[in-house]
C-alpha cells in the first residue's frame, strides 16, 4: 500500500531540490536580488529564528544541549544554535538544502580565534525526511515545514517529532485564522508565477490536539507577523 501523503512529499522534495531551492535560498540569504514580498518574508522568518533563540536561551544555556533541527533548510537556525554551543543534528528532505546548509555552516562557524575556549561544534547534517528521523534529542525544532502538509499528515509528523524529544518541541506553522485564511484565498485566486507548492494553514487548536494526543502540552506561544509572513510559534513540553 502506498504511504499516505507519499505523493505530496515527493512533490515537496522535488520542489525544494529545484525551483524552491533557488527561491528560498535567496529569501533566506542576504543578497539584494529579492522583491518586496520576498524581502518581507525574509524579515518575518528572521524574526521567527530570533524568537526561537530567545525562547531557548531564556530557559538556560545551550552549551552541550542536543538539538534536532528537522527540515533545516539552508541552516538559518542550525548555525546560531551551534554558535550558542548546542550539539546540532540538522536534516532536510532536500539534498540541495542540506549541502547549502553545510556550506554556510563551514563559512560561518570557522574558528577565527585560536584561544577560543569552547569553539562551536559543527552541526551534523543529513538528508532525511523528518518522518524517518530516529534517536533522542533534548530539544526538537521544526520551523516552517508543516505549511507543506495538510493537518491529516501534520498530526503524524507532530507525533513523530514529539517521540524524538526529551524535554521540549518547538514548532512554527502558518496559523489558520480568519484574516490569513482570507489572504490565502485571495492568493489562490491570483496565483503568482513562482508559487509552485500549495500552502496549508493549521488551526492552533488542531496542533494542540495533536500534541495532547501524544501526552504533550503547550508551554509558550508566540506570533510573528509581517505584511506577508505569518507564523504561530509553540513550545511544547511533556504534560
**Residues making contact with ligand SAM (CB under 6 A):** 9, 12, 16, 24, 28, 70-73, 76-77, 92-94, 97, 129-130, 143-145, 148
Residue closer to ligand SAM, measured from CB, 95 or 182: 95
Neighbours of 52 (CB within 10 A): 23
Residue closer to ligand SAM, measured from CB, 62 or 231: 231
Q: How far apart are CA 174 and CA 8, in angstroms?
A: 18
Q: Closest distance between ligand SAM and the C-beta of residue 156, in Å?
A: 11
Which grid coordinates belong to 93?
528532505
Q: Closest distance between ligand SAM and the C-beta of residue 64, in Å?
A: 23
Cβ atoms 186, 157 nearer than 8 A:
no
Q: Closest distance between ligand SAM and the C-beta of residue 114, in Å?
A: 31
Residue closer to ligand SAM, measured from CB, 7 or 217: 7
Which grid coordinates belong to 119?
569553539
State the residue number with the nearest CB to ligand SAM.
73
Q: Closest distance between ligand SAM and the C-beta of residue 15, in Å?
A: 8
Q: What is the DSSP string of 30-89?
A: --S---HHHHHHHHHHHHHHHHHHHHHHHT---TT-EEEEET-TTSTTHHHHHHTT-EEE
In 3D, which of 147, 157, 155, 135 has the Cα closest to residue 68?
135
Q: Closest distance between ligand SAM and the C-beta of residue 172, in Å?
A: 7
Residue closer to ligand SAM, measured from CB, 67 or 130: 130
Q: Closest distance between ligand SAM and the C-beta of residue 80, in Å?
A: 11
Question: Across the beta sheet with 124-127, what order do the strands follow?
Answer: 124-127, 87-92, 66-70, 137-143, 165-173, 230-238, 216-225
Residue closer to ligand SAM, measured from CB, 38 or 238: 38
Cβ atoms 139, 206 nearer than 8 A:
no
Residue closer to ligand SAM, measured from CB, 65 or 224: 224
Amino acid at each position: 500500500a502506498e504511504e499516505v501523503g507519499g505523493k505530496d512529499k515527493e512533490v515537496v522534495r522535488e520542489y525544494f531540490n529545484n525551483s524552491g531551492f533557488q527561491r528560498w535560498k535567496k529569501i533566506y540569504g542576504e543578497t539584494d536580488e529579492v522583491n518586496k514580498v520576498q524581502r518581507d518574508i525574509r524579515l518575518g522568518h528572521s524574526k521567527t529564528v530570533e524568537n526561537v533563540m530567545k525562547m531557548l536561551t531564556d530557559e538556560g544555556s545551550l552549551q552541550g544541549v542536543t538539538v534536532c533541527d528537522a527540515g533545516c533548510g539552508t541552516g538559518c537556525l542550525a548555525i546560531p544554535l551551534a554558535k550558542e554551543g548546542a550539539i546540532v543534528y540538522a536534516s532536510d528532505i532536500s539534498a540541495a538544502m542540506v549541502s547549502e546548509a553545510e556550506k554556510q555552516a563551514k563559512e560561518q562557524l570557522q574558528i577565527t580565534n585560536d584561544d577560543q575556549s569552547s569553539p562551536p561544534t559543527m552541526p551534523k547534517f543529513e538528508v532525511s525526511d523528518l518522518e524517518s528521523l530516529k534517536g533522542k534529542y533534548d530539544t526538537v525544532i521544526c520551523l516552517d515545514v508543516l505549511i507543506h502538509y495538510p493537518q491529516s499528515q501534520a498530526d503524524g509528523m507532530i507525533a513523530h517529532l514529539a517521540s524524538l524529544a526529551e524535554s521540549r518541541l518547538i514548532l512554527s506553522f502558518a496559523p489558520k485564522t480568519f484574516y490569513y485564511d482570507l489572504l490565502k484565498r485571495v492568493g489562490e485566486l491570483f496565483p503568482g508565477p513562482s508559487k509552485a507548492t500549495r500552502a496549508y494553514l493549521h488551526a492552533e487548536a488542531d496542533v494542540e490536539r495533536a500534541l495532547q494526543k501524544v501526552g504533550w502540552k503547550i508551554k509558550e506561544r508566540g506570533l510573528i507577523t509581517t505584511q506577508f509572513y505569518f507564523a504561530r510559534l509553540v513550545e511544547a513540553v511533556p504534560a
